[in-house]
Every structure is written in structure tokens, then in C-alpha cells.
Structure 1
Amino acid sequence: MPALRNIRMLTRYTAWANERLFSALGELPAGEPLAARATGSGNMVRTLNHAYVVDRIWQAHLQGQPHGFTSRNTEDTPTLDALRIDQARIDAWYIEYADALTAEGHDEVVVFQFVDGGAGAMTRGDMLLHVVNHKTFHRGYVADMIYQVPARPPSMDLPVFLRDTVPRLT
């Protein structure tokens, strides 16, 4: 059961960290979240949109459905507000999914196709761990871009989440 406990905690951590980051982006000077930056996706919002699209792709894999994406980002960039709503919605879906997952389901191997067409197979637990890790990776990119504004990104570390949200054991 430790693996289920951990993945359930990590999906909650992801939602918490995403909300902190979106709140911080909303407080930046107008235009900064969409300002061009020296990064793979071009700006903060496109970077987070990529993470959201990847969430949708893995959601479809977990559901055994086609995702319909041919790229890991969309052609059009959503508004920060629209993306924040969409990200919160899918974060809630991942929390509910992890909460409903059984130990057997956690270890079940799912066969899927990568966006580039290659074949893949992972356990449901590994898929969820990837989703959590992937967003952590890209929040780090956005945090670096916030420093370029210049501004200070919010603390989004796991120990801060645990300190601030998990009841203490005494």
C-alpha cells in the first residue's frame, strides 16, 4: 500500500504546486506570462500548456481511449485564466483517479501509442508517477522564467506541501 499512498499524496502535491504557480503568474506584471523567453516552449503559458496537453494524453492512455493529439502542445496558446481552470480540472481528475486506484490496478500494465507513433507499455502507477514528475520538471522551467521578470517564484517543494497541508503526526 505505500505505493498507493505515495501516488495519492503526489497527485495532491501536484494540484497544490500548480495552483501556487498559477497564482504567482497572475500576480506578475501584465504580459509577462506570455513574454518571449529563451526556453523550449517560448514563454511561461506555452510551457504550462505543454504540461497540460501531456496530462490529457496520459489521461487518455489511462482510460484506454484515443487522445487525438498529434503534438505535445497546441497550435494556439490559451489564456492564462483558461489554462488555470483546465489545469485545476485535470488535477482534480488525477486525484480522483489515484484515490480510486487499487493495488492491482496500480501494477496493471497498459499498452499505448506515444504521440510520435511508437509503442509503449507502463504500469498505471508508473504513468501517474510520470505525470507528476513531468509537471514538476516544467514548473521548474517556469520558475526560472519568473526569475527573469525579475520576480520570485513561489515555493513549490514537496516538504513545504507536506508541512502546510498534511496533518502532523504527534
Structure 2
Amino acid sequence: MSTPYLQKLLRYRDWADQLTYAAVAALPEGASTAPRATVFGNMLRTLSHSWVVDDIFQAHLQGRAHGHTSRNTPEPLPLDELWARQQAMNAWYQDYASTLTPAQAAEVVAFQFIGGGEGRMTREEMILHVVNHATYHRGFVADMFYQVPAKPPATDLPVFLRDVPQE
């Protein structure tokens, strides 16, 4: 996978997160934290999970301990604080990917899964994972919009490619 392609995927992820967070923020008060039939319990906890996984893989890429013992924050974060963290994380991944040489992107990194066991992925696979993982969980959030009821934003890759000028 080329570095420019990784960068495009990360720009897509940032764009989709912007739409999602803005839509969640525009929901009626309490809608993002209302109990829902979903694995993480509500929209905000689902978005928190996505950020935690980004933080874990950032640590793997940096070769440092992440300090997480769970795949979510211990306590829910306010939406504005979580969004600030997510924006900083998205910027970090975009900057990081822009510096990778093809050899660095293909380098295998060993790590420990939180649930136990050893993992090994290339740096580009880790980046692809955080993009794909976020897309997966934005789908959960989109489904919860219908439970409000509200219409979620369209965050599909073809919409991004159509609506956002590409470099």
C-alpha cells in the first residue's frame, strides 16, 4: 500500500469523523448517552471505544506502553472533550503516515493484545486497521441514530471521494 493511499484513507477517516461528531452533537440532549441496544451501550461509549483503540495502536506504532487495561475509557468523556482528543489523534495519524517510507510502512511491529495474546502487524496494516475499525463503529453509531429517531450522515468512502477535492 502506498503512503499517499494511506494518507487518503486517513483524510477520509477524519472527514467521516467530523460528520459523525457534528451529527451526534446536533442530536437532542441526552440522545448520545441514552442506553441503546449495542455492545458499548450508547453512541458516546462507542465513539470512546474507537478513540481508545486509536490510542492503543498509536502506542504500538511508537513502541511504548499504552496504559490501557480495557478497550474503552474507564468513565465516559464529555462529547466535546472526546472530539478534541479524536481530532488530535486523527492529525497525529495523518502526520505519522506522511513520514513513513515504504520500508517503514512494511515493517512488522510485535505487540500484546489487551485481551491477551501476541499480535504482529505491519505499520501500514495498523493504520488500515484504525481506519477500518473507525468505519465499523461509525456504522454502529449510525444505526443508533435510527433509534433516536434521526437520520445519520452519509460517511461512505464514495461520498468522500465525490464531495471532497482530492489532492
State the secondary structure of the residue aligned to 1:32: coil
1:42-61 aligned within 5 A: 42-61=41-60
1:1-170 aligned within 5 A: 3-167=2-166
User: Offset at 1:87?
Assistant: 0.5
Which deviates more, 113-122 or 64-73?
113-122
Distance 1:69 1:118 in 2: 15
> Normalising by the residue count of structure 1, what TM-score does the alignment of the two structures yield?
0.95
User: What RMSD, in angstroms, separates the aligned Cα atoms of the two structures?
Assistant: 1.1
User: Offset at 1:35?
Assistant: 0.4
Distance 2:115 2:46 in 1: 19
User: Offset at 1:167?
Assistant: 3.9
Distance 1:11 1:105 in 2: 17
Q: C-alpha offsets along residues 87-124 of structure 1, whole Å, 9 cap, x if unaligned?
A: 01100101101111111111000111111231111100
Gap runs ≥5 in structure 1: none
Which AA in structure 2 matches 1:148?
Q
User: Offset at 1:166?
Assistant: 2.4
Distance 2:151 2:78 in 1: 22
Which AA in structure 2 matches 1:93?
W
> Normalising by the residue count of structure 2, what TM-score does the alignment of the two structures yield?
0.97
State the secondary structure of the residue aligned to 1:34: coil
Distance 1:3 1:120 in 2: 23
Moved over 2 A (4+): none
Which AA in structure 2 matches 1:47?
T
Q: C-alpha offsets along residues 128-164 of structure 1, whole Å, 9 cap, x if unaligned?
A: 0001000000000000001111100011011111112
Name the count of aligned residue pairs.
167
Percent of pairs identical after alignment? 54
Gap runs ≥5 in structure 2: none
